[in-house]
Structure 1
Amino acid sequence: MARVGRKRRLEVEAEYWRLLQSGVGTVEACRQLGIGRKTGYRWRSENGGLPPERVSESVHSSRYLSLLERKRIATLREHGLGIREIAARLDRSPSTIIRELRRNPQHARTRQRPLRRRPRSPPLQTAGRTAAQTEAAARRRAPRRGPGQARRVEP
Protein backbone atom coordinates (compact mmCIF):
# COMPACT_ATOMS: atom_id res chain seq x y z
CA MET A 1 0.00 0.00 0.00
CA ALA A 2 1.39 3.38 -0.93
CA ARG A 3 2.16 5.90 1.76
CA VAL A 4 0.35 9.19 1.78
CA GLY A 5 2.41 12.28 2.43
CA ARG A 6 5.79 13.62 1.48
CA LYS A 7 8.01 11.86 -1.02
CA ARG A 8 10.83 9.87 0.43
CA ARG A 9 14.17 11.65 0.10
CA LEU A 10 16.52 8.79 -0.65
CA GLU A 11 19.71 10.86 -0.53
CA VAL A 12 18.83 12.16 2.96
CA GLU A 13 17.99 8.65 4.10
CA ALA A 14 21.28 7.32 2.71
CA GLU A 15 23.19 10.06 4.57
CA TYR A 16 21.23 9.17 7.74
CA TRP A 17 22.41 5.55 7.49
CA ARG A 18 26.01 6.68 6.83
CA LEU A 19 25.93 8.79 10.00
CA LEU A 20 24.55 5.90 12.04
CA GLN A 21 27.24 3.56 10.74
CA SER A 22 29.92 6.09 11.67
CA GLY A 23 28.73 5.96 15.29
CA VAL A 24 26.49 9.02 15.52
CA GLY A 25 23.26 8.48 17.47
CA THR A 26 19.82 8.64 15.91
CA VAL A 27 18.81 11.92 17.53
CA GLU A 28 22.08 13.62 16.57
CA ALA A 29 21.94 12.28 13.00
CA CYS A 30 18.39 13.60 12.62
CA ARG A 31 19.43 17.00 13.98
CA GLN A 32 22.38 17.23 11.56
CA LEU A 33 20.19 16.35 8.57
CA GLY A 34 17.30 18.57 9.57
CA ILE A 35 14.73 15.80 9.79
CA GLY A 36 12.42 14.92 12.64
CA ARG A 37 13.47 12.46 15.31
CA LYS A 38 10.37 10.37 14.64
CA THR A 39 11.37 10.08 10.97
CA GLY A 40 14.73 8.62 11.95
CA TYR A 41 13.14 6.16 14.32
CA ARG A 42 10.58 5.19 11.65
CA TRP A 43 13.35 4.52 9.11
CA ARG A 44 15.14 2.33 11.66
CA SER A 45 12.01 0.36 12.55
CA GLU A 46 11.05 -0.16 8.89
CA ASN A 47 14.43 -1.75 8.23
CA GLY A 48 14.80 -3.64 11.48
CA GLY A 49 17.62 -1.36 12.65
CA LEU A 50 19.86 -2.29 9.72
CA PRO A 51 20.67 -0.10 6.73
CA PRO A 52 18.72 -1.13 3.63
CA GLU A 53 20.50 -3.04 0.90
CA ARG A 54 20.58 -0.78 -2.11
CA VAL A 55 21.77 -1.86 -5.52
CA SER A 56 23.77 0.77 -7.35
CA GLU A 57 21.92 2.39 -10.22
CA SER A 58 24.87 1.77 -12.51
CA VAL A 59 24.41 -1.97 -11.99
CA HIS A 60 21.17 -3.02 -13.62
CA SER A 61 19.84 -6.28 -14.88
CA SER A 62 20.01 -6.76 -18.60
CA ARG A 63 16.75 -8.66 -18.46
CA TYR A 64 14.52 -6.84 -15.98
CA LEU A 65 13.71 -3.19 -15.37
CA SER A 66 13.96 -1.97 -11.81
CA LEU A 67 11.09 -0.09 -10.21
CA LEU A 68 13.18 3.07 -10.35
CA GLU A 69 13.70 2.61 -14.11
CA ARG A 70 9.98 2.05 -14.61
CA LYS A 71 9.17 5.27 -12.76
CA ARG A 72 11.80 7.17 -14.73
CA ILE A 73 10.35 5.93 -18.01
CA ALA A 74 6.90 7.17 -16.96
CA THR A 75 8.25 10.53 -15.82
CA LEU A 76 10.34 11.12 -18.93
CA ARG A 77 7.40 10.15 -21.13
CA GLU A 78 5.19 12.61 -19.23
CA HIS A 79 7.70 15.35 -19.98
CA GLY A 80 7.25 14.63 -23.68
CA LEU A 81 10.50 12.82 -24.46
CA GLY A 82 10.52 10.32 -27.29
CA ILE A 83 11.11 6.61 -26.99
CA ARG A 84 14.66 6.76 -28.38
CA GLU A 85 15.64 9.66 -26.12
CA ILE A 86 14.38 7.79 -23.04
CA ALA A 87 16.23 4.66 -24.17
CA ALA A 88 19.46 6.61 -24.60
CA ARG A 89 19.16 8.21 -21.15
CA LEU A 90 18.53 4.87 -19.45
CA ASP A 91 21.02 2.95 -21.61
CA ARG A 92 18.31 0.53 -22.71
CA SER A 93 16.96 -0.60 -26.04
CA PRO A 94 14.04 1.39 -27.51
CA SER A 95 12.06 -1.85 -27.79
CA THR A 96 12.40 -2.28 -24.01
CA ILE A 97 10.91 1.17 -23.43
CA ILE A 98 8.04 0.55 -25.84
CA ARG A 99 7.31 -2.81 -24.22
CA GLU A 100 7.26 -1.23 -20.75
CA LEU A 101 4.84 1.48 -21.85
CA ARG A 102 2.54 -1.10 -23.43
CA ARG A 103 2.62 -3.50 -20.50
CA ASN A 104 2.26 -0.93 -17.75
CA PRO A 105 0.09 1.91 -18.98
CA GLN A 106 -0.66 2.90 -15.38
CA HIS A 107 2.94 4.10 -15.02
CA ALA A 108 2.65 6.06 -18.24
CA ARG A 109 -0.64 7.65 -17.17
CA THR A 110 0.23 8.83 -13.70
CA ARG A 111 -0.78 12.43 -14.32
CA GLN A 112 -2.93 12.09 -17.40
CA ARG A 113 -6.64 11.75 -17.09
CA PRO A 114 -7.63 8.12 -16.65
CA LEU A 115 -9.21 6.21 -19.50
CA ARG A 116 -12.95 6.31 -19.35
CA ARG A 117 -15.23 3.59 -20.51
CA ARG A 118 -17.99 4.28 -22.96
CA PRO A 119 -21.23 4.89 -21.07
CA ARG A 120 -23.52 1.90 -21.36
CA SER A 121 -27.21 1.73 -20.95
CA PRO A 122 -28.38 -1.16 -18.80
CA PRO A 123 -29.73 -4.27 -20.51
CA LEU A 124 -33.30 -4.19 -21.69
CA GLN A 125 -35.46 -4.05 -18.64
CA THR A 126 -39.21 -4.09 -18.82
CA ALA A 127 -39.60 -2.92 -15.25
CA GLY A 128 -40.21 0.81 -15.26
CA ARG A 129 -40.84 0.99 -19.01
CA THR A 130 -44.09 1.06 -20.81
CA ALA A 131 -44.84 -1.56 -23.43
CA ALA A 132 -44.56 1.08 -26.17
CA GLN A 133 -41.07 2.11 -25.00
CA THR A 134 -39.91 -1.50 -24.90
CA GLU A 135 -41.28 -2.19 -28.37
CA ALA A 136 -39.72 0.99 -29.78
CA ALA A 137 -36.33 0.01 -28.34
CA ALA A 138 -36.62 -3.46 -29.89
CA ARG A 139 -37.45 -1.91 -33.29
CA ARG A 140 -34.36 0.31 -33.10
CA ARG A 141 -32.16 -2.72 -32.59
CA ALA A 142 -33.88 -4.86 -35.23
CA PRO A 143 -32.04 -5.23 -38.56
CA ARG A 144 -33.37 -3.25 -41.48
CA ARG A 145 -35.18 -5.24 -44.15
CA GLY A 146 -34.72 -4.59 -47.82
CA PRO A 147 -37.36 -4.98 -50.52
CA GLY A 148 -38.55 -8.55 -50.82
CA GLN A 149 -37.56 -9.40 -47.27
CA ALA A 150 -40.95 -9.34 -45.63
CA ARG A 151 -41.29 -10.10 -41.96
CA ARG A 152 -42.30 -13.69 -41.34
CA VAL A 153 -45.26 -14.02 -39.09
CA GLU A 154 -45.57 -17.26 -37.20
CA PRO A 155 -49.11 -18.62 -36.72
Structure 2
Amino acid sequence: MMGVLMARRGRKRRLDIEAEYWRLLQTGISTVEACRQLGTGRKTGYRWRSDNGGLPPERVSETVQSGRCLSLLERKRIATLREQGLGIREIAERLDRSPSTISRELRRNMLEHDKGIYHADLAHHRSRQRAERPRRPKLRLDAELRAEVQSRLDLERSPGQIAAHLRRLWPDQPQRHLCHESIYRASTRVRKAS
Protein backbone atom coordinates (compact mmCIF):
# COMPACT_ATOMS: atom_id res chain seq x y z
CA MET A 1 0.00 0.00 0.00
CA MET A 2 2.79 2.44 0.86
CA GLY A 3 4.26 2.12 -2.66
CA VAL A 4 1.02 3.39 -4.12
CA LEU A 5 0.79 6.17 -1.55
CA MET A 6 4.36 7.33 -2.08
CA ALA A 7 3.92 7.52 -5.86
CA ARG A 8 1.33 10.28 -5.57
CA ARG A 9 2.02 13.88 -4.66
CA GLY A 10 0.30 16.83 -3.10
CA ARG A 11 -3.21 17.04 -1.73
CA LYS A 12 -4.40 13.75 -3.27
CA ARG A 13 -1.52 11.85 -1.68
CA ARG A 14 -2.20 13.46 1.73
CA LEU A 15 -5.86 12.49 1.50
CA ASP A 16 -4.91 8.95 0.49
CA ILE A 17 -2.63 8.71 3.51
CA GLU A 18 -5.40 10.08 5.72
CA ALA A 19 -7.84 7.51 4.31
CA GLU A 20 -5.32 4.75 5.04
CA TYR A 21 -4.89 6.16 8.57
CA TRP A 22 -8.64 5.82 9.19
CA ARG A 23 -8.64 2.31 7.72
CA LEU A 24 -5.84 1.29 10.11
CA LEU A 25 -7.70 2.78 13.08
CA GLN A 26 -10.79 0.79 12.13
CA THR A 27 -8.74 -2.41 12.37
CA GLY A 28 -7.93 -1.57 16.00
CA ILE A 29 -4.47 -0.08 15.58
CA SER A 30 -3.64 2.93 17.78
CA THR A 31 -3.07 6.40 16.36
CA VAL A 32 0.64 6.26 17.21
CA GLU A 33 1.09 2.88 15.48
CA ALA A 34 -0.97 3.92 12.43
CA CYS A 35 1.12 7.07 12.03
CA ARG A 36 4.33 5.06 12.42
CA GLN A 37 3.23 2.63 9.68
CA LEU A 38 2.31 5.50 7.36
CA GLY A 39 5.45 7.49 8.04
CA THR A 40 3.62 10.52 9.42
CA GLY A 41 3.97 12.27 12.75
CA ARG A 42 1.55 11.33 15.49
CA LYS A 43 0.54 15.01 15.78
CA THR A 44 -0.80 14.72 12.24
CA GLY A 45 -2.91 11.72 13.26
CA TYR A 46 -4.22 13.54 16.31
CA ARG A 47 -5.09 16.55 14.12
CA TRP A 48 -7.01 14.32 11.70
CA ARG A 49 -8.95 12.88 14.60
CA SER A 50 -9.62 16.34 16.03
CA ASP A 51 -10.72 17.73 12.65
CA ASN A 52 -13.23 14.87 12.32
CA GLY A 53 -14.50 15.10 15.86
CA GLY A 54 -12.75 11.82 16.73
CA LEU A 55 -15.01 9.83 14.42
CA PRO A 56 -13.92 8.11 11.22
CA PRO A 57 -15.60 9.29 8.03
CA GLU A 58 -18.48 7.09 6.87
CA ARG A 59 -16.81 6.22 3.61
CA VAL A 60 -13.05 6.12 3.95
CA SER A 61 -12.60 5.00 0.35
CA GLU A 62 -14.30 8.13 -0.90
CA THR A 63 -11.60 10.59 0.09
CA VAL A 64 -11.30 12.18 -3.33
CA GLN A 65 -13.68 11.91 -6.26
CA SER A 66 -11.66 14.15 -8.52
CA GLY A 67 -9.60 17.29 -8.42
CA ARG A 68 -12.72 19.40 -8.93
CA CYS A 69 -15.17 17.79 -6.51
CA LEU A 70 -14.98 17.89 -2.74
CA SER A 71 -15.01 14.50 -1.05
CA LEU A 72 -17.08 13.54 1.97
CA LEU A 73 -13.92 13.63 4.08
CA GLU A 74 -13.17 17.18 2.93
CA ARG A 75 -16.74 18.23 3.68
CA LYS A 76 -16.47 16.77 7.18
CA ARG A 77 -13.29 18.75 7.72
CA ILE A 78 -15.01 21.92 6.49
CA ALA A 79 -17.84 21.34 8.98
CA THR A 80 -15.42 20.79 11.86
CA LEU A 81 -13.27 23.78 10.98
CA ARG A 82 -16.33 26.04 10.59
CA GLU A 83 -17.57 24.84 13.97
CA GLN A 84 -14.19 25.89 15.39
CA GLY A 85 -14.83 29.40 14.02
CA LEU A 86 -12.29 29.41 11.19
CA GLY A 87 -12.89 31.62 8.18
CA ILE A 88 -13.10 30.59 4.55
CA ARG A 89 -9.46 31.44 3.76
CA GLU A 90 -8.12 29.49 6.73
CA ILE A 91 -10.29 26.47 5.89
CA ALA A 92 -9.14 26.64 2.26
CA GLU A 93 -5.50 26.77 3.33
CA ARG A 94 -5.88 23.75 5.63
CA LEU A 95 -7.59 21.71 2.91
CA ASP A 96 -5.21 22.96 0.20
CA ARG A 97 -8.17 24.25 -1.78
CA SER A 98 -9.03 27.61 -3.25
CA PRO A 99 -11.04 29.99 -1.03
CA SER A 100 -13.56 30.29 -3.86
CA THR A 101 -14.10 26.50 -3.74
CA ILE A 102 -14.92 26.64 -0.02
CA SER A 103 -17.12 29.72 -0.47
CA ARG A 104 -19.02 28.08 -3.35
CA GLU A 105 -19.44 24.88 -1.33
CA LEU A 106 -20.97 26.76 1.59
CA ARG A 107 -23.22 28.83 -0.68
CA ARG A 108 -24.50 25.83 -2.66
CA ASN A 109 -24.93 23.34 0.15
CA MET A 110 -26.21 25.42 3.05
CA LEU A 111 -29.86 26.27 2.73
CA GLU A 112 -31.79 28.89 4.67
CA HIS A 113 -33.45 26.33 6.95
CA ASP A 114 -29.97 25.02 7.97
CA LYS A 115 -29.72 28.22 10.06
CA GLY A 116 -26.09 28.90 9.21
CA ILE A 117 -24.89 25.42 10.19
CA TYR A 118 -22.97 23.44 7.58
CA HIS A 119 -23.74 19.70 7.78
CA ALA A 120 -21.16 17.64 5.88
CA ASP A 121 -23.31 14.57 5.22
CA LEU A 122 -26.24 16.67 4.07
CA ALA A 123 -23.98 18.83 1.88
CA HIS A 124 -22.47 15.71 0.31
CA HIS A 125 -25.94 14.30 -0.39
CA ARG A 126 -27.10 17.59 -1.96
CA SER A 127 -24.00 17.76 -4.12
CA ARG A 128 -24.44 14.19 -5.36
CA GLN A 129 -28.11 14.81 -6.14
CA ARG A 130 -27.16 17.83 -8.25
CA ALA A 131 -24.51 15.81 -10.07
CA GLU A 132 -26.98 13.02 -10.87
CA ARG A 133 -29.68 15.41 -12.08
CA PRO A 134 -30.24 14.92 -15.81
CA ARG A 135 -29.03 17.86 -17.82
CA ARG A 136 -30.82 19.13 -20.89
CA PRO A 137 -28.23 19.51 -23.63
CA LYS A 138 -28.98 22.98 -25.00
CA LEU A 139 -26.86 22.54 -28.10
CA ARG A 140 -28.55 19.30 -29.07
CA LEU A 141 -32.07 20.67 -28.60
CA ASP A 142 -31.66 24.13 -30.18
CA ALA A 143 -30.58 23.95 -33.84
CA GLU A 144 -30.20 27.73 -34.19
CA LEU A 145 -27.98 27.93 -31.11
CA ARG A 146 -25.93 24.96 -32.34
CA ALA A 147 -25.46 26.60 -35.76
CA GLU A 148 -24.38 29.90 -34.16
CA VAL A 149 -21.82 28.17 -31.93
CA GLN A 150 -20.51 26.09 -34.83
CA SER A 151 -20.13 29.15 -37.07
CA ARG A 152 -18.06 30.87 -34.35
CA LEU A 153 -15.95 27.76 -33.85
CA ASP A 154 -15.34 27.69 -37.63
CA LEU A 155 -14.04 31.26 -37.31
CA GLU A 156 -11.66 29.90 -34.63
CA ARG A 157 -13.18 31.96 -31.83
CA SER A 158 -12.42 30.85 -28.28
CA PRO A 159 -15.15 29.36 -26.08
CA GLY A 160 -15.01 32.50 -23.89
CA GLN A 161 -15.53 34.76 -26.91
CA ILE A 162 -18.43 32.62 -28.11
CA ALA A 163 -20.10 32.68 -24.68
CA ALA A 164 -19.87 36.49 -24.60
CA HIS A 165 -21.19 36.69 -28.18
CA LEU A 166 -24.24 34.57 -27.31
CA ARG A 167 -25.11 36.89 -24.40
CA ARG A 168 -24.90 39.92 -26.72
CA LEU A 169 -26.81 38.19 -29.51
CA TRP A 170 -29.68 36.99 -27.30
CA PRO A 171 -29.67 39.23 -24.20
CA ASP A 172 -33.30 38.44 -23.34
CA GLN A 173 -33.01 34.67 -23.89
CA PRO A 174 -30.92 33.23 -21.04
CA GLN A 175 -31.85 29.70 -22.14
CA ARG A 176 -29.51 30.32 -25.09
CA HIS A 177 -26.59 31.46 -22.95
CA LEU A 178 -23.80 28.94 -22.51
CA CYS A 179 -20.74 29.01 -20.31
CA HIS A 180 -17.35 28.70 -21.96
CA GLU A 181 -16.88 25.23 -20.40
CA SER A 182 -20.00 23.88 -22.15
CA ILE A 183 -18.80 25.27 -25.47
CA TYR A 184 -15.32 23.84 -24.93
CA ARG A 185 -16.73 20.38 -24.07
CA ALA A 186 -19.02 20.47 -27.10
CA SER A 187 -16.15 21.51 -29.40
CA THR A 188 -13.90 18.70 -28.14
CA ARG A 189 -16.68 16.15 -28.70
CA VAL A 190 -17.09 17.43 -32.27
CA ARG A 191 -13.31 17.13 -32.85
CA LYS A 192 -13.23 13.57 -31.45
CA ALA A 193 -16.20 12.52 -33.60
CA SER A 194 -14.61 13.80 -36.82
Greater helix content: 2
TM-score using structure 1 length: 0.34
Look at both structures and tell me which one has the larger radius of gyration over its CA atoms: 1
TM-score (norm: length of structure 2): 0.28
